Structure 1
Amino acid sequence: MSQTFRQPDILEIARAEGKVMVEDLAERFAVTVQTIRRDLTELANAGKLERVHGGAILPSGVSNILYEERRRLNEPAKQAIARACASAIPDDASLFLDIGTTTEAVARELMDHRNLMVVTNNMNVAQILLANTDCEIVVAGGALRRSDNGLVGNLTARTIENFKFDYAILGCSAMDEDGDMLDFDIQEVVVGQTLLNRSREVFLVADHSKFQRSAPVRIGSLRDVDQMFTDATLPARLTENCVAWGTQVHVATPNP
């Protein structure tokens, strides 16, 4: 298959699956990995894809990619991040779990924790934690966002204002090089900004793809975060800033 016909097919696969991997595409199209890398580079240069380690994802913009596609992206990394984050949360704690596929992975890692109070605006998190019978679950009210079962808006923020959490576990859609945490939905950002002021410790869970994306709405800065859990070393400038801010960065290694 010529490059002219292959690249539109690559884009269709990316739209359906959220991400394409070099080795998978090479096998699918019966070409070398070098050929696929050239295809992905050309598509990235044209603004149609964003390169990530081992492949490419749909480009950033003013709207997020579909929830089911996000769930499949970097799944081993999210699991590693979730294990590291959950290990830093003790029993007998109150916490808030935010919207996002990585925070959902954290919920799965909390199954053996005892005597937790978990407040969440993520209906998926609430459903996951039903299996932990030693966990009190409080669902923050708000407008239901059907695309990902998230509850957002001012009503959710007002619910959060009634609490002072031991821990808040936040996600973000993108991370700017200056350390700003970014998202796409201003209704969701209101919730995140409220949490920064209603938590004794703030944990951010974000895989490396967030450093390769952009989003238009600012949640806050890594300066406001106590600990960050990720799967790759941060850019040098951001690492220096985290040291200056006192933000601890934990790099979790996915299982082989």
Structure 2
Amino acid sequence: MSQSFRHPEILEIARRDGKVTVEGLAQHFGVTLQTIRRDLTELADAGRLERVHGGAVLPSGTINIGYEERRHLNNVGKASIARECAARIPDGISLFLNIGTSTEAVAQELLHHKDLMVVTNNMNVANILVANPDCEVLVTGGTLRRTDGGLIGTLATDSIRQFKFDLAVIGCSALDAEGDILDFDIQEVGVSRAILRHSRKTYLVADHSKFKRSAPARIASLAEVDLFVTDEPLSSALARSCESWNTGVVVARAERAEAG
């Protein structure tokens, strides 16, 4: 297989897993370690990956990856996270769902919930929940971000301030080793902080790829979240921190693992 065919698949594996290893790729493609090292160097030189010891990761930076790419990134893990999260959302409450493909997956799992009032600044969430006749859907104002259907800015924040939600489910772009919840868009960060202030409880949904990325703007700490639902175990240090903060952690088990 020539490098022109390997490179797109290497990038797809990196988007799915957050990281690729030289040994893993050599075994996957049936080529030498040196060949894979050369591939990774070329991808790094092109700005598509960042080299790390033993492999490469998606590049960190100040710009998020595209919405369509995010939609297809770790779908299995996001679906498992969404099921675990939705199972902990009771009927008959007021709920906020923010921008992100993970919160959209949660919305999909709420189609059979009863007597919900859902407020959202995510047009995709609103369109999903239209299919649930027992769910009242309210959409905030705000500036439409065409790339992902998000509503951001002062109007969105002012809308949120009119409410006190029973529960908010939020996503993020990255999560660092200290437990800081990060994002790329400063305006979106302002909206997310307002959501936290105006919710009695908050759940964070984020798959393992978020641990391997970086973003420049801080939303909050996991210490400010009641429950974190993810798809892989936390580091021992972060798990201890969550325990000290009384932040619950649920690790969703993907169906692919059961399938063998």
| 1:135-174 aligned within 5 A | 135-174=135-174
Alignment partner, residue 215 of structure 1: 215
| Distance (whole Å) between structure 2 residues aligned to residue 255 and residue 34 of structure 1 | 32
What is the TM-score normalised by the length of structure 1? 0.86
Report the alpha carbon displacement of residue 59 of structure 1 after superposing the two structures with TM: 1.6
For 2:129, the equivalent position in structure 1 comes to 129
1:204 aligns with 2:200: no
Say which SS state the counterpart of residue 234 (structure 2) adopts. coil
1:149-199 residue CA offsets vs partner (Å, 9 max, x unmatched): 000011101100000001100000000111100000001000100111100
Aligned twin of 1:195: 195
Q: Which amino acid aligns with 2:140?
A: A
Residue type of the partner of 1:184?
F
Structure 2: distance between partners of 1:231 and 1:44? 28
User: Deviation string for 1:37-82 (max 9, x for gaps)?
Assistant: 656765687674269xxx9763221000000000100000000000
SS of the residue corresponding to residue 19 of structure 1 reads helix
What residue in structure 2 maps to residue 19 of structure 1?
15
AA matched with 1:229: V
Change (3 A) 1:149 1:18: farther
**CA–CA separation in structure 1 for the residues paired with 2:222 and 2:181:** 7
Aligned mates of 2:37, 2:214 — CA distance in 1: 23
Find the counterpart in structure 2 of residue 95 from structure 1: 95
1:99-154 Cα shifts (integer Å, max 9, x gaps)? 00000000000011000000000000000000000000000000000000000011
Contact 1:18 1:65 (8 Å CA) reproduced: no
| Cα separation, 2, equivalents of 1:49 and 1:132 | 41
Question: 1:82-113 CA deviation, whole Å, 9 max, x = no partner?
Answer: 00000000000110001000000000000110
AA of the residue aligned to 1:126: A
2:56, 2:6 → 1: CA distance? 10
> What amino acid sits opposite 1:134 in the alignment?
D
1:175 matched to 2:175? The reply is: yes
Instruction: Give me the whole-angstrom Cα distance separating, in 1, the residues matched to 2:227 and 2:254.
Output: 19
Contact 2:142 2:152 in 1 (8 A): yes
8 A Cα contact 1:14 1:20, kept in partner: no
**In structure 2, what is the Cα distance between the partners aligned to 1:43 and 1:240?**
39
* Unpaired segments ≥5 residues, structure 2: none
- Structure 1 contact 92–114 (Cα < 8 Å) conserved: yes
Instruction: For residue 147 of structure 1, give the secondary structure of its aligned residue in structure 2.
Output: coil
Matches within 5 A, 1:67-86: 67-86=67-86
Structure 2 counterpart of 1:117: 117
Name 1:31's counterpart in structure 2.
Answer: 30
Query: What residue is the counterpart of 1:238 in the other structure?
Result: 238
> What is the count of residue pairs matched by the alignment?
249
Distance 1:140 1:191, change over 3 A: same
Q: Is the 8 A contact 2:40 2:56 kept in 1?
A: no
Secondary structure of the 1:138 match is: strand
In structure 2, the residue matched to 1:61 is 61
SS at match of 2:255: coil
1:106/1:36 CA distance change after superposition, 3 Å: farther
Q: Distance in 2 between the 1:217 and 1:139 partners?
A: 25
State, as a whole percentage, how many aligned pairs show the same letter. 53
- The change in CA–CA distance for 1:18 and 1:30 in structure 2 (over 3 A counts) is closer
Contact 2:25 2:36 in 1 (8 A): no
- Taking the aligned partners of 1:149 and 1:17, their CA distance within structure 2 comes to 26
Cα distance, 1:236 vs structure 2 = 1.4
Shift of 1:237: 1.1
Structure 1: segments with no counterpart, 5+ residues: none
Give the TM-score of the pair, scaled to structure 2: 0.85
Structure 1's 150 and 172: CA in aligned 2 closer, same or farther, altered over 3 A?
same
